[in-house]
Chains A and B, each alone.
Chain A
Amino acid sequence: MPASLTGHTRESLTTWLTERIALYLKRQPSEIDAAVPLAEYGLDSVAAFGLCGDIEEDFDFVLEPTAAWDYPTVHALADHLIAEFAAAEGGAS
């Protein structure tokens, strides 16, 4: 079990996601509202796959490529990651 899955909170993941998405969109993190759908900011369907790839890279956790479609805001995605990480840890123990 990668250590990287432990110790995350909704707040820490929200921060990580907001910063990453701001880079994608060439905006300031403060401009990204965690409750607004990412597509509203112009993150297209295929670029959302790239976001899942980044999550995989930083957290060593393989996510469905469509996760960012099904959990379309920063908050929804953060909650989904918390649940997925917890499930993975539970499965491993």
Chain B
Amino acid sequence: MLTGSLPQGAPEAPATGQETRVTARVAELEKRLGDPTDEKNPVSYARLLEADEAGEISEAGERVLDEAVLNADFVPREHGGRLERIDTLVRVMRQVFRRDVTLGLGYGVTSFMAGVNVWTAGSAEQRERLARILLDGGKVSVAYHELAHGNDFVRNEFAAKDAPGGGYLLSGEKQVINNADRAAAWVLFSRTSQAPGSRSHSVVFAERAGLDAGSYRVLPRYDAVGVRGCHLSGLHFDDTPVPADALVGKTGMGVELALRAFQITRSAVPGMALGAADTSLRTVVSFALGRELYRKSVMDIPHARATLSGAFLDLLACDSLSVAATRAVHLLPDQTSVYAAATKYLVPKMLTETMHDLSIVLGARFYVREGEFGIFQKHIRDLPVLSLGHAGSAACQATIIPQLARLARRSWFAEDPAPGALFRLREDLPDIPFDKLTLASGRDALSATLVAAVEELPSSTPEERAVHGIALKMMDELRQLQEASLALSPENRTALASPATFALADRYAVLLAAASAIGVWQQARFGDDTFLADPSWLAAVLHRLARRLGQQPPDLPAAVDARLHEEVLRRFESRRSFDLYNTPLAG
């Protein structure tokens, strides 16, 4: 290996088993799903829009995913499935989300979220049973939510009471649960003690088969603004008996288990949904190239062109953070708590803003529910479900806030940088260490990558100097964040902190995204992907993130803009994804 002489990046390793498998899987799904713009294709945008209008999940789409046994991607290889890495799962699911968020969520991703709890703490028998259900095509719901308590789920009331003859009696309601009506099993976050606090809940894995059908019922479906085909409903139990071995892990472990599982799911889901924003950019590029205004194509209008390049940069920035967070699950499991929360906070927020910017270019077409650009309005309605379900933006910030002071004191400017492997997009990783995820560690090697980069980054070309200049300002920003975090009063270290403290969590998430992008470029610098190896994209991503922080970085070299525009066009014309992976697409 040449890594000794090239400390900042390694030559791209030849594709190995994991990379071969994920590339093949992504290509297989794309082939099965077919050209989304061909109206004769049963899973084209046109047909998916019809299903959405009817409030149904696409039957044809579910059939294709059944045929592909997509559920296998949620089951670890040791249990007969295909799950080996979180970042590769994101790449697979991105193919589904780029076409239809309803299918991504409704087919699927909640079965994965439910499964993580069982893979983490379930018995060998529970893991075996769950694997069987999923590999047979069954769905599993994850039921944390009770509307009355929102993200304050420690107050949840749904109970698993001790049954007189052993086992538990399920009692109460869970609301807004995806696939509650048709799941073969539910993972239920249940109160097992009346005492207040974080040791009073447990996780129950209840299989529908064998339950006393007279004692529970499925509640009516919710009619939502987006993901209209998803089966969002609820469950009501009236002392429904479940056996003692339905308990996942130990009694009282529920909150801990939930927080561990969130580290995986919050890292993963935003990157999956990035596919919908990718499609939206493609849709608007198509519009901009085809429509003429003021005797020019929309693409020649500087504002429109800049908006499209900006959306591309947002996708690259979000993907960088997503890659770092998902690979951290494998490589830095003791640090994943803050990265997962930062990803779940920042990526949906940035993508929502990107969609808004794109809608302005699309103009009145954005309001049309059908036709060539109709998928855009569907994606713009569907995407917010990402920040609403699972963990709200503020709940993610509230996970970061209590950790800021400790990170500031112990880690920032003192930690070694993250290993290069964190940012090597296609490199193999060890198994998912479900048992090594730590609730709060006070360590952060990702921001240390930013600090180390200021010393390491080259500065021979104008683009490299632009990168270096902004990285330096970002490091100053981290210094300010450290000072502000050390100065936080105790009342600002909880979920009831001041808005200014929530703003600190926002700035920190942006810095982590910047550090991730720098890491990705450092590793791609000597690789085969000439676009990623070029510092232009990094300079532009950092420039955009710096402006997000309220900084006023100097204008970028003019060649950067041209380079980005050229790449947007190249990827559009060659049917490639607008993320870090430059994936070939069916259309």
A, B from the same assembly = yes
CB within 8 Å of B: which residues of A? 20, 23-26, 37-40, 42-50, 52-54, 56-57, 65-66, 69-70, 72
Chain A residues with Cβ under 8 A from B491's Cβ?
A: 23-26
Inter-chain CA distance A57–B406, complex, in Å, is 8
Chain A's interface: helix, strand, loop or mixed, by majority?
helix
- Per the 8 Å Cβ criterion, residues 452-511 of B in contact with A are 489-491, 493-496
Residues A47 and B154 in contact, CB atoms below 8 Å apart? no
Out of B196, B406, B440, B490, name the residue touching A23 (CB < 8 Å): B490
Given contacts A44-B152, A53-B442, 14 further A-B contacts (CB under 8 A): A20-B490, A23-B489, A40-B196, A42-B496, A45-B255, A46-B259, A46-B402, A46-B495, A49-B403, A50-B402, A54-B493, A56-B442, A57-B405, A69-B256
Chain B residues with Cβ under 8 A from A42's Cβ?
A: 496
Knowing A20-B490, A24-B491, A39-B196 are in contact, say whether A53-B154 is a contact too (CB < 8 A). Answer: no
Inter-chain CA distance A57–B490, complex, in Å, is 12
Residues A45 and B196 in contact, CB atoms below 8 Å apart? no
Closest to B486 in A: A57
Inter-chain CA distance A66–B439, complex, in Å, is 8
Q: With an 8 A cutoff between CB atoms, is B399 at the interface?
A: yes
Inter-chain CA distance A54–B410, complex, in Å, is 12
Knowing A26-B496, A44-B495, A47-B493 are in contact, say whether A53-B405 is a contact too (CB < 8 A). Answer: yes
Distance (Å) between the CB of B490 and the closest chain A CB? 4
Residues A50 and B439 in contact, CB atoms below 8 Å apart? no
Closest to A52 in B: B440
Residues A69 and B197 in contact, CB atoms below 8 Å apart? yes
Chain B residues with Cβ under 8 A from A69's Cβ?
A: 197-199, 255-256
Knowing A26-B496, A46-B495, A65-B440 are in contact, say whether A38-B197 is a contact too (CB < 8 A). Answer: yes
Chain B residues with Cβ under 8 A from A65's Cβ?
A: 438-440
Chain A residues with Cβ under 8 A from B402's Cβ?
A: 46-47, 49-50, 53
CB within 8 Å of A: which residues of B? 152, 154, 195-199, 255-256, 259, 398-399, 401-403, 405-406, 409, 438-440, 442, 489-491, 493-496
Residues B154 and A49 in contact, CB atoms below 8 Å apart? no
Inter-chain CA distance A44–B403, complex, in Å, is 14
Closest to B255 in A: A45
Inter-chain CA distance A57–B493, complex, in Å, is 14
Chain B residues with Cβ under 8 A from A56's Cβ?
A: 406, 442
Closest to B398 in A: A46
Chain B residues with Cβ under 8 A from A47's Cβ?
A: 402, 493-495
Residues A45 and B405 in contact, CB atoms below 8 Å apart? no
Distance (Å) between the CB of A41 and the closest chain B CB? 9
Inter-chain CA distance A49–B489, complex, in Å, is 15
Closest to B197 in A: A39
Closest to A70 in B: B199
Residues B399 and A46 in contact, CB atoms below 8 Å apart? yes
Inter-chain CA distance A92–B256, complex, in Å, is 31
Inter-chain CA distance A53–B154, complex, in Å, is 21
Knowing A37-B197, A46-B399 are in contact, say whether A54-B439 is a contact too (CB < 8 A). Answer: no
Chain B residues with Cβ under 8 A from A23's Cβ?
A: 489-491
Inter-chain CA distance A47–B488, complex, in Å, is 13
Chain B residues with Cβ under 8 A from A26's Cβ?
A: 491, 496
Distance (Å) between the CB of B444 and the closest chain A CB? 14
Chain B residues with Cβ under 8 A from A20's Cβ?
A: 490
